[in-house]
């Protein structure tokens, strides 16, 4: 995909990362912005080790759509995702949207499963099972 990976902060307080093919410089001119593979970023502060922990989940998990149009009036700000985080985002897209499919390969993306350790994935699965993540 040649799209930009962008982090959106919405008026609701939600933070969503998604591909978009629209230039952020002209966002004010759009009525809607297209978000492809939107993933919500949830964070939690830890008082024990003074770190912030991030959890990812499909933005609208109960729906089938991989492409959503969002009214720009609901967006507070948008910024490109840091380059070193794009691989993790792409791995999350593969896991959330194409876990049982080879469809993602159509986009020309190749993934290295070493991005997340088995311990990371186990902790994530445990958090979901124990309802620590919405």
pLDDT tens, residue by residue, 88-103: 999 899 888 887 655 4
* Distance, CA of 128 to CA of 65 (rounded, Å): 21
- pLDDT, position 75: 93
* Distance, CA of 53 to CA of 49 (rounded, Å): 10
The mean pLDDT value of the chain amounts to 78
32-83 per-position pLDDT tens digit: 999 999 999 988 776 667 777 788 888 988 888 889 999 999 999 999 999 9
Angle at 123 between CA 122 and CA 129, to 5 degrees: 85
**Three-state DSSP class for residue 84:** helix
67 phi and psi, to 5 degrees? -130, 125
Q: What's the start-to-end Cα distance of the chain, in Å? A: 29
């Amino acid at each position: 995909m040649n799209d930009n990976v962008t982090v959106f902060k919405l008026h609701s307080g939600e933070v969503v990362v998604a591909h978009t093919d629209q230039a952020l410089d002209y966002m004010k001119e759009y009525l809607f912005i297209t978000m492809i593979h939107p993933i919500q970023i949830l964070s939690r502060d830890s008082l024990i080790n003074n770190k912030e922990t991030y959890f990812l989940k499909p933005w609208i998990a109960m729906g089938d759509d991989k492409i959503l149009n969002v009214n720009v009036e609901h967006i507070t700000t948008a910024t490109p995702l840091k380059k070193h985080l794009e691989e993790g985002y792409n791995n999350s897209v593969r896991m959330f949207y194409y876990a049982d499919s080879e469809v993602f390969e159509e986009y020309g993306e190749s993934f290295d499963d070493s991005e997340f350790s088995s311990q990371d994935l186990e902790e994530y699965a445990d958090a979901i099972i124990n309802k620590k993540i919405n």
